[in-house]
Amino acid sequence: MLASTPFTIALRDVLGERFRVHPDECAQFKVDGAAPKLVLSPRSLDEAARALNIVSGERATVVLRGAGTKSRRPPPRGDVDAVLDTSELRGVLEHKPGDLTATIAGGTPLHELQFALRKHEQFFPSDAPFAATATLGGTLGANANGALRQRYGSLRDNVLGMRFVLADGAIAFSGAKVVKSVAGYDTHKAFIGSRGTLGLIGELTIKVAPLPAVQRVLIATFEDCASARAAAGTISASPLFPLALTLHDSRAAGRVPALRTSSAAVWSLVVRCGGSRSATSEQFEGAAALCKEAGAATVRDVGDDLVETVWSQIAELAGGAAYDSDSFVVAKLVAPPARLHELIAAARNAWPDAEMTAHPHVGVLFANIPAAGATSQPGALWQACAAGGWTAEFLSAPHVRGEEFIAPLPAGLAIKLQRRLKAALDPGGTLDPGGFLGGI
């Protein structure tokens, strides 16, 4: 099928040298260890649309790939017909600093976007992992929220509009290019978290934010998880309004030099403060007082000049580049924030050697488990998830064991609606079939 002459000629007419079939070249675009039979690298949405139309007409399957940072998510794909590489679809297409909006090509690396915005003392308010390599489209497709959602909202909250390409090559737009809009259905938000199974995220109009004038990071250590979580809950519920909170066990904290401590404490609570000088000082002093009231063993400060460096390292503890996918299994679990310490205890019982990082404001836990000792079916944890209404998924695993790490679907998941949406937007099952929850 893929070697048919009219088919390959048609793709070369569209993509030229950016249509690859040589095994050595295709091997660079592996998806969970499987090399595709061909690779498409369009430079425009029109090229992407025409290429997808041709490939879907051959009833081949296509995996959308940005930087490949999420390509180890279970279950493994098996044979991959084609990869559509978005690395050529990059650039800041429009930036309106006065409106705090920007339109970006989906294949733009996050670090390039932040560099361009920083010239105007603005930034995209996301501290997603793999920031040095991940693309904006891939980050949104994975719904890879960071801890900054506490102040700035989730990725979905910060996307105003989107141009996307469907499997049959149709190009559509949803949303708006302005912050206040009555454009109707926010269809584009279904693509955020869809893992590339609904369509190609081609262009995005996003909200950006002013860079805080001053930033400080507070690091408090605690002897037990419950006290650290209680302090985080008190700070979140207070009027201090910090930028973000993160929680780390001693193993995870040890990966960030600024978090290492000689204290016997086993949990670190990190509070990122920012805004005007007076507001930042108020956040820091207030958070420090609340941590001491909660029994913190130590309270330390990271000044403005080191905040970005330290925080970039902290962000990678949330299932990011700090954990090699050949050596670690990464699980993401979610519970009500008030029950986060119970979730952590259940995960620790299932995986004693896991390195734990949490975003306590939203009740999200990342368990980074050494693959050598990872139990793929921790029955007691799944029972606790079912009883508590918690959710779980595996973000990555060594590809040779990918079939083992399939978390149970959460109760109440609208799986029938998801199947109907997939059938409506990709009726031929072209885009990564089986790559979404429930084998969709």
Q: What is the mean pLDDT of residues 249-265?
A: 88
Q: What is the pLDDT of residue 11?
A: 79
Do residues 334 and 344 lie in contact, with contact meaning Cβ atoms separated by under 8 Å? Answer: no
**Number of Cβ within a 10 Å radius of residue 373:** 11
Helix 225-237 crosses helix 340-350 at what angle (to 10 degrees)? 150
**Percent of the chain predicted with pLDDT > 70:** 96
The most confident of the ranges 332-346, 372-386, 418-432 is 332-346
Q: By mean pLDDT, which of 3-12, 257-266, 382-391 is the weakest? A: 3-12
Return d(Cα 108, Cα 63) in angstroms, integer: 18
Q: What is the mean pLDDT of residues 386-404?
A: 90
Summarised one tens digit per residue, pLDDT across range 68-79 is: 998 888 887 778
**Percent of the chain predicted with pLDDT > 90:** 72
| Alpha-carbon distances of 105 from 18, 66, 90, 108, 152, rounded to whole Å | 18, 12, 5, 6, 22
Q: What is the pLDDT of residue 116?
A: 97
- Dihedral class, residue 33 (left if φ above 0, else alpha if ψ from -120 to 50, else beta): left
Name which CATH class applies to 92-210.
alpha beta
> Which token pair is 328?
């670690």
Name which CATH class applies to 214-315.
alpha beta
- Comparing 75 with 106, which gets the higher pLDDT? 106
- Dihedral class, residue 371 (left if φ above 0, else alpha if ψ from -120 to 50, else beta): alpha
Do residues 299 and 292 lie in contact, with contact meaning Cβ atoms separated by under 8 Å? Answer: yes
Summarised one tens digit per residue, pLDDT across range 43-58 is: 999 999 999 999 998 8
Question: Does residue 338 surpass a pLDDT of 90?
Answer: yes
Return d(Cα 40, Cα 410) in angstroms, integer: 35
Q: What is the pLDDT of residue 26?
A: 87
Return d(Cα 70, Cα 101) in angstroms, integer: 27
Q: What is the pLDDT of residue 415?
A: 80
- When the pLDDT of each residue in the chain is averaged and rounded to a whole number, the result is 91
Burial class (CB in 10 A: 0-12, 13-18, 19+), 100: middle
Domain ranges of the chain: 5-85, 92-210, 214-315
Q: What is the pLDDT of residue 6?
A: 67
Confidence band, pLDDT 50/70/90 cuts, at residue 289: very high
Summarised one tens digit per residue, pLDDT across range 110-168 is: 999 999 999 999 999 999 999 999 999 999 999 999 999 999 999 999 999 999 999 99
Return d(Cα 436, Cα 199) in angstroms, integer: 13
Q: What is the mean pLDDT of residues 247-256?
A: 96
Nearest CA to 241 out of 217, 218, 274, 289 is that of 274
- Tell whether omega for the bond before 75 is within 30 degrees of 0, i.e. cis: yes
Summarised one tens digit per residue, pLDDT across range 3-24 is: 555 667 777 777 877 778 878 8
Q: What is the pLDDT of residue 4?
A: 53
Question: Does residue 426 surpass a pLDDT of 90?
Answer: yes
Q: By mean pLDDT, which of 242-251, 324-333, 392-401 is the weakest? A: 392-401
Confidence band, pLDDT 50/70/90 cuts, at residue 1: very low
> Which token pair is 405?
């790490």
Domain 5-85, what architecture? 2-Layer Sandwich (3.30)
